[in-house]
Structure 1
């Protein structure tokens, strides 16, 4: 029986996640792996917005990451919620804010949309940094333990902290990738891909352009929020930097670098830009220069992204 491309993608992703720990020389690599999965989840949401919905660039998505992260810190303190429930609340809040913010800004195009979304992200970052009485200000605040490790320990599954968050973040990423791939093959996904080809042509055949662009924005915001919640839960501490401008730029760069039209491509971009700074520490003060050089080379010679370009070259050689 021949498997679908969606199933093959998910199986390949799950296999890589399961096999990677066999090559980890220390628990530190579990930490790096969990960060890759956190970033991978955020960029999967950006694939829906940038790749599926016709290149809607958002430079403020770290704002939604910050909302999800601080929901896990604030809701347990002020509402008495378990941090996992708080993560769901943060995702719902991010979706609602994205719906309200997206209605006016998604009428803009090109760099106007990018600048408008950048303003939203900057506003969230400023609120988190300045409302010290609520958020702890620049010093940040602690995040309560959700108690998941203790629950697993009660059924004789005892993982180290790093291994547990590696496994938990991996499961969330695979679920997120599965949902995004299902969306791609759904009627909504086909409508979004029609926007990618031409908004005018899509409107001509009856696609409600504004509604579907807004849906893509809301979905990507929810992904970003859950990503922020995962980061907060595993770090047990959060600062306003998580909602900063540079984090938004990093997420968009990961998405475009790996291939914005492909879920597995964008995740590969997250792998590269999360691990590369660890590798380039041997260059010390030249680290940022080397990182920028690698990104420039990929964007010049592999404009569709790293994974799609390599895949196309391999298929061309096989013919």
Structure 2
């Protein structure tokens, strides 16, 4: 049943990616769509960490910052192609997550939250203070992709919103496919057992420390790739990508849509990405409205939007 559910979810996401451009009145909406896909990708990583394994992180924007600055520093200092810089950022993020994850993931609850928050703050401070390397608070330019492979013949420019909409949408589709496959894999089942009870998981022979670390590393790679895509499509990056508020936004998106649901997390990312665009006419009250939306969702739909709506629909069907 879960196999069918996986393919249904992928089909829904693919259909949305393909159909939505029909309703876009201008190229600006392709940029917004690409931003939604980037945010959704990072949030899918948090579903693996929080929804599957039951571990919290308030510093995941730090990994997004590593991925973003890899795309800026790699071509500039190492002469790497931007695509290889994305891979470099993912490898560095995975190595960093494995390094700090071993001591940090021994903690639980708010101790773990504060420890991961500290990591995110350290990365943000490093990117801000190392002016000679990163450009400091002013940020730095990111190398653009080379114009190759016949994309001109398809009418696509590598700097266009249409191109990045397709790239980010395709990358999100791959990320969702990996996360859905992970759900029922031996590693995914071990993560979910750990989420239910660490003691019970340890009793049946699960290496709790190793499974926690795997979830942390996987989610870090998701965040890193999302940060790289953001940097490449904007051709410019600042330390804000690794800031505390970005980490909070990522967690909020996951909780809003449904932290146990891959598609729900993508829905949460879409809503919180679109709201600032919709509320520009109420700029002075934007934060107030967003806060009110979150409060109402948590009161009336505590499991998140998509799981709660799905549960209500199943209840009516019965």
TM-score of Structure 1 vs Structure 2, range by shorter chain: over 0.9
| Superposed CA offset, 1:235-293 (max 9, x none) | 00000000000000000000011001110010000000000111111222111100110
* 1:61 counterpart residue number: 60
* 1:313 counterpart residue number: 312
- Aligned mates of 1:153, 1:184 — CA distance in 2: 36
* 1:42 counterpart residue number: 42
Counterparts of 1:121-140 in structure 2, within 5 Å, are 121-140=120-139
Q: How many pairs align?
A: 316
Compared CA separation, residues 135 and 89, structure 1 to 2 (3 A): same
- Aligned mates of 2:107, 2:184 — CA distance in 1: 27
Q: Displacement of 1:152 after TM fit? A: 3.6
- Aligned mates of 2:311, 2:172 — CA distance in 1: 26
Q: Displacement of 1:3 after TM fit? A: 6.8
* 2:274 counterpart residue number: 275
* 1:98 counterpart residue number: 97
Q: Displacement of 1:157 after TM fit? A: 1.3
Q: Displacement of 1:146 after TM fit? A: 1.7
Unaligned runs of 5+ in 2: none
* 1:287 counterpart residue number: 286
Unaligned runs of 5+ in 1: none
Q: Displacement of 1:159 after TM fit? A: 1.9
Structure 2 residue matching 1:144: 3-state secondary structure: coil
| Superposed CA offset, 1:7-65 (max 9, x none) | 000000000111000111111110110000000100010000000002x1100000000
Segment drifting more, 210-219 vs 156-165: 156-165
- Aligned mates of 1:18, 1:97 — CA distance in 2: 36
8 Å CA contact 1:98, 1:217 repeated in 2 = yes
Q: Displacement of 1:151 after TM fit? A: 2.6
8 Å CA contact 1:152, 1:158 repeated in 2 = no
* 2:24 counterpart residue number: 24
* 1:151 counterpart residue number: 149
* 2:206 counterpart residue number: 207
Greater than 2 Å deviation, 4+ residue runs: 149-154
- Aligned mates of 1:172, 1:23 — CA distance in 2: 22
* 1:117 counterpart residue number: 116
TM-score (norm 1): 0.97
Structure 1 residue matching 2:226: 3-state secondary structure: helix
Give the superposed CA RMSD: 1.3
